[in-house]
Structure 1
Amino acid sequence: MAGDKRAALDLGTWLYWEDECGQNLRPPQARTWAPCGRTPVVTVTGKGYGRVAVVGLVCAKPGQRTRLMYRVLVRRGQPGEVKGFGPAQFARLLDAAHAQLGGRLVLVWDNDRRHLSRAMRAAIEARAWLTVFRLPAYAPELNPAEGVWSVLKRGLANLAAHDVDQLTMLVKTKLKRMQYRPALLDGFIAQTGLILEPL
């Protein structure tokens, strides 16, 4: 881990990795078992528009249980609705994480244009307890939050939700289950090759 991030961990701060993902009503495809000669078919209604956007934080600190925090945004295709997470939503999530875990926070995220916007930079500067580092371009393998989305998508594979409300319930249920599995979250961090134990 880079020296500045190493120093942040030695000071006892929480290290957060952030990422976003989304899922529409069309389920991800996955392999499954079926009787020989009978190809399984998943029927999708195809009615209406719906998308569930999720932003998540994998939170780690040596000596503490690894945490997963997230927010869900439901898009129904209505005029004037918020289309995705912006600086205000990101800032609210970070404020909630700070209120829950306390102390200084070190946030690591990618170079998404929303993360680099003027409004987001102003929100970061207004929070003295927050330090932000950006991942290198095209390096999802360094972000443990990508593991969360991988497990989530596998859990949704071949499940055809009837509407966006059912899809939202499925997404929240699967994320809630991951929150109670800190060993799984530790595995996502280990998969990146990062070592969080102080030297």
Structure 2
Amino acid sequence: MVSRPWRREGLADLGPRLDASRLCRLADALDEGPAVHGFGEDQRWTLARVSDLIARMFHTRYTLRGTGYLLHRMGWSVQVPRHRAVERDEAAIATWWREVWPAGKRYRRSATPGSASRTRPVRRCAHRRPAPGADPGGSRVG
């Protein structure tokens, strides 16, 4: 009977499914963009699209989490595109941030000195209340 490596050495010892040359081919394919690989007009790589591309190119499947780990090892990071209106006026926005925003900004009121609670400030009396069930006279036994 032929002994398989995953039986002899365990699953962790099989190594990566994509070697260095395949990772270079994948990086080149990702640099070409999604439209070149038939993913429509949207120019964003999603984990599902990258996983499908890996399956098409190398006939091996990765889970979405595994694809994310692979991309991270390759130096890719999560990118979230900014959706901005075409009519956006940067000068008006900068003016608003500089002039209007500080006027409407409320500053937090500091707590009463010596108190962490805003609802019950520190009591300023010299005598402490006895604990519940304690002898109010403070007499000692003995």
TM-score, scaled to structure 2 = 0.25
* Structure showing the higher helix proportion among its residues: 2
Larger Rg: 2
* Structure showing the higher strand proportion among its residues: 1
TM-score, scaled to structure 1 = 0.20
Q: Which one has more relative contact order, counting CA pairs under 8 Å at least 6 apart?
A: 1
